[in-house]
Amino acid sequence: MKTKTLALLLGLCAYTPASKARNVFVLPGSSNTASSIFTGEPFAASGTVSVSPSTFQILAHPAGTKYYAISRSAVDTVLVIDASLTSILRRIPIPTGVTVAALTPDGRRLVLVGTSLSIIDTTADLLLSIPPVDVGTTPIDVAISHDSNRAFVLSSASNRVTTIDLFGNTQLGNAISIPGISTGITRAPNDLLYVTAQNRIFEIDGRKQSIRNEIPLNEIPGKLAFTPDGARGIAVNSTTVTGSVVVVFETATRTVTKLTTAQLPGVTLEKIVVAGNNRALGISAGSRILYDIGLNPTNGSIATLGVIGGFVSVADVAVSDEQPVTGQGTARYAYIVTAGALTRVSLTTNSPSGQLALSAAAGGLAFAGPASTASPAAFSVFNANQTFTALQGPQALALRVVDASSLPVINVPVTFSSSSPGLIIQGQSTTTNGEGIASTTVVLPATTGSGTVTATIAGNLFATFALSITGGAAAGVPTTIESAGGNGQVTLQNSKTNLPISILLRDGNGTPVPNSPVTWSLQGTGTIVDALAQTDVNGIATASFIGGSLTGGVSSTQQTIIVGNATLSKTLYVTTSSTLPAVSFLAPAGENPRIVAQAGQTIAGGVQIRLNQFFGNVGVRATANVALAATDPSASCTTEAGLVLTDFAGTASCDLKIGPRTGETNLTVNVGGYTETTIPLVVNPGPPGALRVIQGNNQAGLAGQQLPLALVAEVADAFGNALPGAAVEWEVVTPGTITLSNIFSRGDGRGRVSALATLGNTGGTYQVRVKIGTTATATFNLTVSIPFAQLLKVPGGEPQSAAFNQQFASPLTAQVNDSSGRPIQGIPIAFTVASGSGSVVTSSAISDSLGRASTLVRAGTAAGPLTIVAVAGSFSVTFNLAVLPPGPSLTASSFVSAASAAQGVTPGGLIEITGRGLAPDLQGTARANPLLGPAPTTLAGLSVSFNGTPAPILSVTNTQGTESAIVQAPFELQAGVASVRVDSGGTPLTVDNVPVVPYQPGILETVSGGRRYGVVLKGNGSYASPSNPVSKGETIRVYATGLGQVAPVAATGRAGVPGQRVSVSMIVGVDNVGARIVNAQLAVNLIGVYEVDVEVPQEATAGTKTLVIAIVLPDGSVAFSQNTLIAIQ
């Protein structure tokens, strides 16, 4: 009876008022602003609250006094909502936007990350005015320490983690370098940080701001989520082609197990949430199916959870926030959003325990509520048994306190104590935070041995931590001393040094040692002043020096300062001089020197100086230093404290280490503490080293569909700097499953490359990979779906006819409909020849958004009926065509100027002929080579003659169903009309009454930016373009055709030779201003092309202007070319 009564009492305690206040928020979709609110227990609708449509997160203050709705809006970025969820207390705009938000465990700060860092003091809900803090380019994630004092901001683009003092609002120490592309940062229950990155997980000690371990992978894991007991972190793998779907990281052993693609074939998870110490739930990309994932051993399957077929079309999933302390413990409920409904599922019975209707489409889920204030019932211990060297030092001692319902309890008093000799606890008394966690750190003696720490929880629960030291230097004991600045200064006699002289003490972990005694001594004349007798909180001690008097004609003396403690010492140098020595730069050299480098580069001897006054002072050590400093982008000498000392000749050489950022800045060179010089520094990106997916991943569509979002990746160097112009390779991992088009394989101005993806006709998830050799890759996962279909014939493809070996003008189209007559996209349709002579261009096509698929058909070599059958599944339709004898099909209007497109031909001019049957057996373009003698009169099976005179043929083309040829009209032609005979291998065709005009000026053109520009050669031999404009007064060469016979006369089909000048009066207009013609002649080594040299008028205006050529005819009339464009500066 007593056991049953206890169980009943625990059940009654399980849902205190704090527990009942836990809420499920259905976040709004893109078209509404109402967030529906549901209580977790009992499961019921409780109202709505109006938020921004872009709201992505709702956080509860641990004290239960308010909620914070976070959106991507620049206006209502943060909404502060009262505890009853009925009133908005404050609207806080963040103009730079927010993508990630985190509330400190104690609830005192709300940290917001977008393009920059913002911090809200939650006491008054005011946005703090903080000094500018550089958290890197486009930070992507943030984590908060157990004690709520520090935020860790991750920037993948800047390859670093920046530590922020949340109450000093400043950066702490140096940023932690994270190589490669990173995806997230998480603070685990053990108080360590874990950064996930391409092929790696970094374990970071946030207190020491250093990387403890690097765990290799073969995946790109998403952000880690940790189990309540802290034993495991789990993350989705975005590149399932590597063989895994989920990565499971064991924190104790730093090993990785995987849920493989063999266990979950064809599945890529988009999201994963922890549901207990040995369980997680995941949503698949594209298909939106919910999966149940076991963590020990690793396994996975569709999450049926009492629903036949499981949950599909899942918009989002959230889990209640119980923190079970036992190994197999689980959260109590999962909340699943599907179309029109929110379902609560019991994770203990694995069955639904309620379903409520939704009035609008969901944009996501959030589970939020205050911390419990019930009595402590149990606890978990993190880092309970530690063995380490004193060099490594112990991890934080941490525990989590929960109530009888396994909910974290806030404000529980915890006292840490130890009787072990020499063990110092830094923070003996504390209280649990909003996550139910309390932690402390310890300092151990520099001896081997063991120690224990006991945590007393609320006076009646006890946790024990066992620590074992295996030897080495102890944390907090100085092991190294280094110069921290001010070494090698020069000062005048009886004057004080300008900069403090400083040293830094570190322990064996590399951590600065505060409050450690140091002594200062001087060898030589002068006085040490303002000396600190122990290091400050940053492990630094400083002093200054006053130079003594110089006597006996001595112009300078050098002193040494020895600073240290009983075991460590550092020798520093100062020089007293009657005058300050002049400085000259040996590198970079020149009158206006500057340094140009790549990010991450080290330039040997990048900065070199000479102190001219010290030449010949043999036996006197010159101690002037070169201290380099540069902002972001950054650079410094590779030596200690960034300082180098001059040699006895008065010279110093600095190997310059360039930082990871690009841009321009001024490098400051400080010599001897008495003079500074700035040198322009330009840092360009380094070689390609990283690829990052920007857009288009995890898309899904029907077979044959071109996906709406282009696949976009960013090419960067190893530090995340974008690389415009960098070349990549695109590949479909499984050939034939996806087709790429509109491929851009060189980075644009932002280093981005792109391609469009059209899905194949085989269902499943497939990968497209973009890579830079073997240096870096990025992978896109695309899913193909195929529905059932019926087939109908679409009118318009018949009746048609085509000559032998010719393509029929119109495609044959079949349409796929469902049983209701609605078109279906993504169905494969096969086209075959049932009878007759011919072939289909596309034997299998995929229905488009109109349910249609088409093919072109080519006629064979036998005249008569041609039958084509389209088949989809068990359905078929038939098209009836006719094959005709071959021969070209042209009219007089088929002959135009190849430059101006004016109708007709001119003697010696270039003519374009367009029409069916010119090149039936050609695919692409065939070109002649006039540099090697006369142009041919037969090319690709085509011959053309004007009034019986064969015409030289320069090119023949057959692309996309259009056939054309460029020929030279014979110089022998006379004005009037001509009879043209065209023979393409079938029945020859004669076209009469083709107009012949004596002159038909046309300017050859090229296309730039979608606009047509004249082909113009500048005076320096380069071609003019919008980016290479011509100058006023410059003599340029314009290439044209149709200017008639020249003197000496030219022969048909022969390339021009020097001196064959145009015989007729001409006018050239540039920007509607007449231009002086310097020369006009047949172009040397070209057929049918003329070169007109003109001087750009001074009156012309800058910009994109018109260019025109005109011929003055004998009767006084004028024949104009087309108007084309020319760029003028």
The pLDDT tens digits of the residues spanning 942-984 come to 999 999 999 999 999 988 778 899 999 999 999 999 999 999 8
Q: What pLDDT is attached to residue 820?
A: 77
CA angle 793, 799, 803 (to 5 degrees): 125
pLDDT at 28 over 80: yes
Could you please state the CATH topology (level 3) that the domain comprising 892-996 is classified under.
Answer: Immunoglobulin-like (2.60.40)
Q: With DSSP H G I counted as helix, E B as strand and the rest as coil, what are the percentages for the chain, rounded to 5? A: 5, 50, 45
pLDDT at 2 over 80: no
pLDDT at 282 over 70: yes
pLDDT at 19 over 50: no
Q: What pLDDT is attached to residue 780?
A: 94
Q: Mean pLDDT across the stretch 171-191?
A: 89
Q: Mean pLDDT across the stretch 491-498?
A: 92
| Superfamily for domain range 790-878 | Immunoglobulins (2.60.40.10)
Q: Which long-range contacts (CB under 8 A, 24 or more apart) does 635-640 make?
A: 635/595, 635/597, 635/606, 635/659, 635/667, 635/681, 635/683, 637/607, 638/602, 640/482, 640/483
Q: Can you say how many angstroms the Cα of residue 270 is from the centroid of all Cα atoms in its chain?
A: 18
What span, in angstroms and rounded, lies between the C-alpha atoms of 445 and 421? Answer: 8
Question: Is residue 938 within a helix (H) or strand (E), and if so which, with residue range?
Answer: strand 938-939
Residues paired with 204 in a beta bridge: 193, 211
| Superfamily for domain range 99-216 | YVTN repeat-like/Quinoprotein amine dehydrogenase (2.130.10.10)
Q: Which residue has the higher pLDDT, 768 or 306?
A: 768
- Under DSSP, is residue 148 helix (H, G, I), strand (E, B) or coil? coil
Q: How many CB atoms lie within 10 A of CB 536?
A: 14
583-684 under CATH 2.60.40.10, yes or no: yes
Instruction: Name, of 392-396, 526-530, 721-725, 828-832, the range with top average pLDDT.
Output: 526-530
Choosing among 2.60.40.10, 3.40.640.10, 3.40.50.10540, 3.30.710.10, the CATH entry for 478-577 is 2.60.40.10
- For 812-863, write each residue's pLDDT tens digit: 999 988 777 888 776 778 899 999 999 998 888 878 878 899 999 999 888 8
* Residues contacting 1100, CB < 8 A, separation 6+: 1032, 1070, 1071, 1073, 1128
Put residue 574 in one of left, alpha, beta given phi > 0 → left and psi -120 to 50 → alpha: beta
- CB contact at 8 A, 412 and 402: no
Q: What pLDDT is attached to residue 707?
A: 95
On the question of a common fold for 688-785 and 892-996, the answer reads: yes
Put residue 340 in one of left, alpha, beta given phi > 0 → left and psi -120 to 50 → alpha: left
Q: What pLDDT is attached to residue 667?
A: 84
Could you please state the CATH topology (level 3) that the domain comprising 1002-1128 is classified under.
Answer: Immunoglobulin-like (2.60.40)
Tokens (6 digits) for 999: 């002159």
Domain boundaries, the chain: 99-216, 378-469, 478-577, 583-684, 688-785, 790-878, 892-996, 1002-1128
Sort 168 into a burial class: Cβ within 10 Å, 0-12 / 13-18 / 19+: exposed
Question: Which of 86, 84, 5, 75 has its CA nearest to residue 49?
Answer: 86
- For 622-664, write each residue's pLDDT tens digit: 222 233 433 478 888 877 777 888 777 788 888 888 888 888 8
Tokens (6 digits) for 353: 């325990």
Assigned architecture for domain 688-785: Sandwich (2.60)
- For 699-708, write each residue's pLDDT tens digit: 988 878 999 9
- For 154-176, write each residue's pLDDT tens digit: 998 888 999 999 987 888 888 89
What span, in angstroms and rounded, lies between the C-alpha atoms of 624 and 616? Answer: 16
Size of the chain in residues: 1129
Residue 17's pLDDT band (boundaries 50, 70, 90)? very low
Sort 216 into a burial class: Cβ within 10 Å, 0-12 / 13-18 / 19+: exposed
Q: What pLDDT is attached to residue 625?
A: 29
pLDDT at 911 over 90: yes
* Residues contacting 97, CB < 8 A, separation 6+: 72, 74, 77, 114, 115
pLDDT at 537 over 90: no
Q: What pLDDT is attached to residue 1024?
A: 95
What span, in angstroms and rounded, lies between the C-alpha atoms of 892 and 992? Answer: 7
May I ask the CATH class of domain 378-469? mainly beta
Cis peptide before 823 (omega within 30 of 0): no
What span, in angstroms and rounded, lies between the C-alpha atoms of 829 and 872? Answer: 5
* Residues contacting 1117, CB < 8 A, separation 6+: none
What span, in angstroms and rounded, lies between the C-alpha atoms of 29 and 361? Answer: 6
Q: Phi/psi at 12 (nearest 5 deg)?
A: -65, -35
